[in-house]
Chain A
Amino acid sequence: MTSTMSFRWAMLAPVLTITGVAVGFPLGYALYLSLTDYRLTSRGAPNFIGLENYLFVLTDPRMWNAFSNTLAYVIVAVALQTVLGLTIALALQKQKWIRDLTRAMLLAPMFITPIAVGLTFRFLLNDQLGAIPAALRSIGISIDFFGPGNALMTLALIDVWQWTPFMVLLLLAGLESIPRQPIEAAKVDGASAWYTFRRVVLPLLTPVLTVAVLLRSLDALKVFEYVYATTRGGPGIETETIQYFTYQTGIQFFRLGEASAVAFVLLAIVMTLIVILFRRLQRSAPR
C-alpha cells in the first residue's frame, strides 16, 4: 500500500513541480501582492493591508467600465468569428481544388503579432492616409473608425480579421471528424440541407464549437495590443479594457498591489465562466 502511494507520488512529482514553479508561484506571488500596498518603486517590504485593494477595485466604476467594455468586445468579436468561421469552414469542407493553398492563405493573419496588426490598422483606417476610408469615401461613406461610438467595434473587427482563421481551423477539424452515416441517413430520409445542418451537423459539432468559443473568448479577454497600438483606451474610456486598465494601474502608475487585485477579480470571474461552460459541455456530451 505504502509503496503504491510512493510510486503514485513519484509519478506525479514532475508535473506537480512544473505546475508549482510555472503556475503556483506566480499565482501565489500575485495573491500576496494583492494583499499589500506594494508599488513598483518601493524598495522596502510592502505593508499587508488585507482586502483593502479588493474593496477599492470592486467599488471602482472605472474597473467595472473596463470590465463591461471587455465583455462587449468579447461578445461581438467571438460571435462574429463563430458565424464567419463556421461559414468558411463549411465552404472549405466542400472545396475540391487547391485546398491546402487556400487553407494556408486563410491562416496567415494568425501568424502576425497582434501589436503589428494594431499598428497596421491604425494607419489603414486613418482617414487621410488609409486605404479603407479612401475606398469608403469613393462611395460616399465617411466613418471615424476610432471615434466616439465606433472605436470599440473597430477593435472587435480587427480581432475578427485576425482570429477568424483560428475558428475556421478548429471548426473545419470538427466538421471533418463528424461521422458521415447520420448525414447520409438524413439525406436518404429527404431532409433539406438546412434541416440536416441544424438537426444533425450542429449537434454533433457542439463539443468542438464549445471548446472553440471558450478558447477564443479566453484569448479575446486578454485584448491589450490593439488598444495600446490604436486608441490607448479612448475616446474617453470607451475602449479601456480590463487588461489595459490593469497595465495602467500596475505598470504605468506603479500600483502593483491594486493591479494584482484587479487581476484576481478577473481570474475569479473567468474561472466561474469556465466551470459553467465545462459543466454544460459535459452534460451535452453524448454518453
Chain B
Amino acid sequence: MSTRRRGLLASMGLAAALALTISGCAGSGGVDAPDSSGLGDIPADTEGTVRILMESVPDTDIVVDLVASFNETYPGIEVEIETLAFDQMRDKLIASFQSSEPAYDLIVVDNPWMDDFVDAGFLEPLDARIDSTTDYQPEDFFQPLVDITEVEGVRYGVPFYNYALGYLYRTDLYDEAGMAVPNTLDELVANVQQLTTSDRAGIAMQPQRGYKIFEEWANWLFAAGGSIYDETGNPTLDTPEAAAALDAYIEAFTTAAPANSSNWAFDEAFRSVSSGQSASMISYNWNLPGLNDPDGASGELAGSFALAPMPGGKQVLGSWSWAIPANSAASDAAWAFAAWITSPAVDVERVVAGGAAIRESTLSNPTVLESGFGEDYYAAIIAILSDAAPLSQGLGGEEMIQAVGTELSEAVAGTKTVEEALADAQAAVERIQR
C-alpha cells in the first residue's frame, strides 16, 4: 500500500471517528430516571442530601432560614441551597437535567418553563406523592397556581411563590385628588393622567421589550375584557379588546409615564415610585410591604402605598413551583423538603416572614393577619390570586412571551401600528404553537 493511500485511509478513519464522536455528543445526555418510590409520607429517619437551585432573592433567604426547623423533623436530610440570578437559572437547570451526574435534586420552576420541561421528560410526576401526603391539603392552594403545575392533567410541581400583579398606588395622592381606585381601563388612564404633574408621573411603566412589556400590558388586556388564549388554547391577540388595551397602554405611556422611559423595566419603575417621582405602578403584589417599609427605599413615603386588583378584577400571574427533576439523586428527601415547606403550618411561618402567599388558609390565619402587613393587603391578595392567569400556555412559553413582547414594543416605539403589531403577535404565537 502506498504512503499516499495509507494517509488517505487514515484521514478517512479519523474523519469517521470524529463524526461519530461529534454526533454522539448531541442528545446523549441525561440518565434514565432513577426509580422513584412515589411516596408521599417520607419517614423521618430518611437520610440524604437535597441540592436545590433557587433564585438569589429575599424569598430564598426566607427558605434558607427555615432549613434548621426542617432538620428538627428530618435530622438525616442535609439541604444545600445554591442561589443564582434568574437569567442564569434555566441554563444551569438544563445542564443538570442532561447530565449523567445531576447537580440538583429539587428545583423551582418558573411558569413559562413548565410545559417544556415536562415535554422533555425532565420532571417527576407528583400526583401520587401529593395525594398520599398526610394532612397536606393540596386543595388549599390557590387554583390558578395549581393550574400552572398541571400538564395534561398531571401535577409536576407544587406552588412555592406567587408573582401575581396588581395596581400599587399612593393613597395620599388618590385622596388628595378625590379619586377612587379605577374599576375600568378608561378610569385607569384618566386617573394616571390626573395624577401627572410637572415633577411627577402618574404611572411608572415597564415597556422594555420582551417579558416586561408583555407582563405589564397583559393586565391592560384583561382589564379591557380580552384574553391571551381562548378556551381551546388558541391565541386571541388580534381582537378589538387587545387593540383597545394597546391603544390605552400607549396613551398612558405617552401622557402619564415618566419622560424618556421607553426602556424601563422593574428596577427603574420601582425606584421611580419609591422615590415619589411616580404615583403608581403595576407590579407584583408582594412589593407593597417593601414600599411601606419605613426602613426601605420609600423613606418618608412609607405607609402611603396600597394594593388593588387590576380594573376588571383579572391580572397576570407568574409563579415559582417546587419540582423534582426526573434524574434527582434523592427524590424522596427532595419531596420531604418540598412537602414540608409548602405544608399549611410552615406556609404560615413563611408568609409571616415576608414570603408570597400560595395557600388560601394562610391568608385567613390570625397569626398572618396580625403580623403587620395589614388585613387590607391580604384581602387584596386573595382577590388577586382568585382571578389570575399566566402569560403562556403550552410548549415554547419563553419564545411566545418574547415574540409578543417584541411586537408590543414595536407598537409603543411607533415602528408598527397597533393593528400591525397585534396581527404579527397573533401570527407569531400561532407559528410557535405549530
Contact = CB atoms under 8 A, between A and B. Distances in A.
A204 to B, nearest CB: 44
B162 to A, nearest CB: 24
For B26, B98, B416, the residue with the greatest tally of chain A CB atoms inside 10 Å of its CB is B26
Given A32-B22, A45-B26, A233 B120 contact: no
Interface in A231-245: 231-238
Contacts of A233: 209-210, 406
B410 A236 contact: yes
Contacts of B19: 32
Nearest to B14: A20
Contacts of B22: 25, 28-29, 32
Given A43-B121, A232-B209, A233-B406, A238 B413 contact: yes
B396 A253 contact: yes
Contacts of A251: 91
B259 A235 contact: no
A251 B402 CA distance: 13
B412 interface: yes
Contact of B263 (A36, A147, A252, A254): A147
A230 B27 contact: no
A244 to B, nearest CB: 11
B23 A45 contact: yes
A129 B268 contact: yes
B409 interface: yes
Interface in A220-266: 230-238, 248, 251-254
Contact of A41 (B94, B262, B268, B409): B94
Contacts of B415: 148, 235-236, 238
A235 B27 contact: no
Interface string B18-38: 110011011111100000000
A144 interface: yes
Chain A, interface residues (CB within 8 Å), range: 35 or more
Contacts of B419: none
A50 interface: no
B276 to A, nearest CB: 11
Interface string B339-354: 0000000000000000
Contact of B27 (A28, A44, A253): A44
A146 B262 contact: yes
Interface string B206-231: 01111000000000000000000000
Contacts of A52: none
B210 A145 contact: no
A92 to B, nearest CB: 36
B272 interface: yes
B262 A144 contact: yes
A46 B260 contact: no
Interface in B156-175: none
B260 A147 contact: yes
Contacts of B120: 41-43
A144 B272 CA distance: 16
Given A43-B27, A128-B272, A234-B208, A148 B399 contact: no
A43 B30 contact: yes
Contacts of B258: 127-128
Contacts of A128: 258, 261, 268, 271-272, 275, 277
For B22, B260, B402, B412, the residue with the greatest tally of chain A CB atoms inside 10 Å of its CB is B260
A230 B263 contact: yes
Interface in B113-128: 116-117, 119-122
Contacts of B117: 41
A88 B272 CA distance: 39
B16 to A, nearest CB: 13
B294 interface: no
A25 B262 CA distance: 43
A185 interface: no
B413 A127 contact: no
A133 interface: yes
A252 B209 contact: no
B414 interface: yes
B157 to A, nearest CB: 17
B2 to A, nearest CB: 13
Interface string A128-147: 11000100000000111111
A237 B261 contact: no
A40 B94 CA distance: 8
Interface of B: 18-19, 22-23, 25-30, 91, 94, 98, 116-117, 119-122, 207-210, 258-263, 268, 271-272, 275, 277, 396, 398-399, 402, 406, 409-410, 412-416
Given A235-B262, A251-B91, A252-B399, 11 more contacts: A36-B26, A38-B26, A45-B27, A127-B259, A129-B268, A145-B260, A146-B263, A233-B210, A236-B209, A236-B410, A253-B399
11 contacts: A28-B22, A29-B22, A43-B30, A128-B258, A142-B260, A233-B209, A234-B208, A235-B262, A235-B409, A235-B413, A253-B402
